Amino acid sequence: MWQKMLEAVLSGDTKALARAISFVENETPGYEELLSAISTNAVPVIGITGPPGAGKSTITDKLIGKYIAADDKVAVICVDPSSPFNFGSVLGDRIRMSEWYTNNNVFIRSLATRGSMGGLHPKIIEITELAKAAGYNRIIIETVGVGQSEVEIAGLADSTVVVLVPEGGDEVQTMKSGLMEIADVFVVNKTDRPGADGFVKNLRQMLAPAFHSHKNEISVVKTVAHEGEGIDELAEAIEKSLQHADGEKKSWLLAERTWQLIQKHRMKDIDKLQLKTEIEQAIRHNGSFNPYQFVRNSALLK
């Protein structure tokens, strides 16, 4: 079952990729075998993050256009972990990128569930790998920036783009620690609005000290996304940062994921219902149950 599916994914069948992602999301038996069987080449992953409404989907839409014109195949994964019921935002993404839904060189998928560890999505790494295996040579991950998901996007992406708007003064204050560390490129979108130049100036000033600690220069790009203004400059800034991408964050992310998988693997024989039965038996037998003694002596843990 999974072999046929994998074959279809590798042949570039878009529908098969969509099915394979659901297969993995739902942990349908065979999904681990499928994931074990894929090996992927280095494909650049571009993360686009920032507050809701900043223009991430509009920017993604324009970037798709640029990449498609260059004969790339683009996979876009939209993750909104801020709400379990993000129909509004998914709908927004769909409208913003509607032109591409019927293009064979574009794959767009929205994911709504937040990861149990507070990250983007429990299977985001796997889904990204599937898209790579399907022959997409550009992966864009759009996500609302919230807490832990920012760390994950930075690990997952070879270039992280943080989108802000001129009214985002508060965000700039709170992002000092978080966003600044993960951004390779800052976009100030909606620069058709008043206050844009002052905001850009402040941002550049704020970033100035970071230039010394950050290995590479952080670009600040001004855009008016729905007009396509600044998109060429953005694409250039992304290319530049991709050339300097360092693998350390990615290694940490993979270490974390591997650790989770080991934990799951080690725990696979442990069944709570069976534990409860054993505990009740012990209580009936000895009048009490000592979990510490159990953990020390149980054959399960040998």
Ligand X SMILES: Nc1nc2c(ncn2[C@@H]2O[C@H](COP(=O)(O)OP(=O)(O)O)[C@@H](O)[C@H]2O)c(=O)[nH]1
Which residues between 219 and 238 bind Mg ion (CB under 5 A)?
none
Smaller CB separation from ligand X, 169 or 194:
194
Which residues between 31 and 70 bind Mg ion (CB under 5 A)?
56-57
Q: To the nearest whole angstrom, how small is the minimum distance from the Cβ of residue 200 to Mg ion?
A: 22
Q: Which residues bind ligand X (CB under 6 A)?
A: 52-58, 92, 96, 189-190, 192-193, 224-226
54 touches, from Mg ion, ligand X, none (C-beta below 5 to 8 Å by class): ligand X
Smaller CB separation from ligand X, 14 or 57:
57
Q: How far is CA 244 from CA 215, 241, 247, in A?
A: 9, 5, 10
Q: To the nearest whole angstrom, how small is the minimum distance from the Cβ of residue 223 to Mg ion?
A: 15
Smaller CB separation from ligand X, 34 or 196:
196
Rounded Cα distance, 89 and 76, in Å: 15
Q: To the nearest whole angstrom, how small is the minimum distance from the Cβ of residue 159 to ligand X?
A: 17
190 touches, from ligand X, Mg ion, none (C-beta below 5 to 8 Å by class): ligand X
Q: Measured over all CA atoms, what is the biggest interatomic distance in the chain, rounded to whole angstroms?
A: 77
24 touches, from ligand X, Mg ion, none (C-beta below 5 to 8 Å by class): none
**Under 8 Å between Cβ of 75 and 185:** no
141 touches, from Mg ion, ligand X, none (C-beta below 5 to 8 Å by class): none
Smaller CB separation from ligand X, 79 or 139:
79
128 touches, from Mg ion, ligand X, none (C-beta below 5 to 8 Å by class): none
Smaller CB separation from ligand X, 97 or 253:
97
Smaller CB separation from Mg ion, 35 or 48:
48
Q: To the nearest whole angstrom, how small is the minimum distance from the Cβ of residue 56 to Mg ion?
A: 5
Residues 81-110 as x/- pattern, contact with Mg ion by CB under 5 A? ------------x-----------------
Which residues make up the interface to Mg ion (CB under 5 A)? Answer: 56-57, 93
